[in-house]
Structure 1
Amino acid sequence: MCFILLAVVSLTLLTWKVKGRAPVAVLESVVLSVTMPLQQAISWTTRGVKGVWDGYIGLVRVRQENIRLREEIKWLREENNRFLEAYLQYQRLQRLLNLKERVPPGTVAAEVVGRDSNNWTEVIYINKGTRDGVAKGSAVVTHEGLVGQVIHAAPMLSKVMLITDFRSGVDALLQRTRTSGVVSGRGRTMAELKFLPVGADVQPGDRLISSGMGGVFPKGLIIGEVKGIHPNGSQFQEVEVRPSIDFSRLEEVLVLLQKGQ
């Protein structure tokens, strides 16, 4: 209807232009004052719709780009974590390799593949067994010190009793004074030094090492350090021992093969 009205008005204007100039000028002014706001509104609406559409398309593209970037960041973080794990494992294995140079010949590196910890037993499982020369009684160590000994060996799996196990006993020396005793497990993360006479020189922080007696553990392996000393009314002192190893973080170990293996 608007276009028809404009056409009629235009035709009328042309007719009046032929007949006279003054009336036409007046009518042109009236028509323009009426139609101009309508034309501007239509123009603004058209530009507004185009702007909204362009904005929507832009937001869609930005959202897609954000999704892509988030996926890329996630992949980079995972890749960085893989590199970090590989580097940390390399460091641990390098320390085990350095340890091999300080212990008797005949060793095999193994990974911890299982744990069993309760009120009475403290054991781990490693992925090496009799096929690799591991046997019952083999000592197990890390660069930080003594882990324990193998108590069962299958072809491809072995069970290792930790020095914190209640059944464990290691002939030991106080490194500073050379006084001997036996380190026994107390479960979880602790052990104790038994058979240390009352009056023997012992202090918190003293280091304990394996004495080499008994033929299971080579001499000089670090066991831990004295945490506390408590008189118990007997001829021996009660000495708490903190192992040198955090067994909850143990991942790789070195098994000392027995002679002939």
Structure 2
Amino acid sequence: MSSAVLALGRTEWKLLSRNKAVLISATIVPLLLGFVLANNVPADAGPLPWSVILGMQLLSVQGFTLYFTTTATLASRREDRYLKRLRSGEVPDAAILSGLLLPVVLLGLVQTVVVVGIAMAIGAPAPVNPVPVVLAVLLGFAMSLAAGAATSAWTKSSEQAQITTMPWFLVLIGGSVWVSVGGENTPLAYLVPGGGVMDLVRLAMTGGGIGHALPATGALLAWTVVLTILARTWFRWEPRA
């Protein structure tokens, strides 16, 4: 990791910590939601019910901390011409975006550990196979960052991000609820972005093999590729007219 990325990351964390609305959405909301979800599980619940709760916890972090904060951050930095000033220097575009999103990723990783730890402390069993959980976190993070970059192109400010992010939230969370009600994923469930995450967590908790994780992994990779293409097509470095 280059010094430029680290320097941008430190600066961005200072800017992020000053925006109370974004900071609350990125920190308190996912943790509170994670606690509420885990605290409502019956004491005698087995691995399958806990897989639903853990999946929802991961998606709450990926939705609020990763997706919403990425959207609000990039939109705000673009509109105050911070992105334009950074791009006028010698730092490559990829390094600029990496530095700006570094605090978001680190915060998301910490919160993922915390919400999973809360679930374990309350009574969730340990995953039989942790590999699918790792895939759910890494691929879910990549998908959420790409979705946030794409949505930022249509967002004029961090305040407006509360509106422009709603459609993806409805698809992400609503789709995961639909998948969890069905119990076991069907091919149709992989069409919603949260379906892959929910299925990977279910496999981790119930002992599914790596081969069974291929459909969910492929679905998340496909979503990430599509969203990355949209982000590259729509992304703006200068304020919207």
Q: TM-score, normalised by structure 1?
A: 0.23
Of structures 1 and 2, the larger Rg is shown by 1
Q: TM-score, normalised by structure 2?
A: 0.25
Answer 1 or 2: higher relative contact order, Cα 8 Å, separation at least 6: 2
Q: Name the one with the larger helix percent.
A: 2
Q: Name the one with the larger strand percent.
A: 1
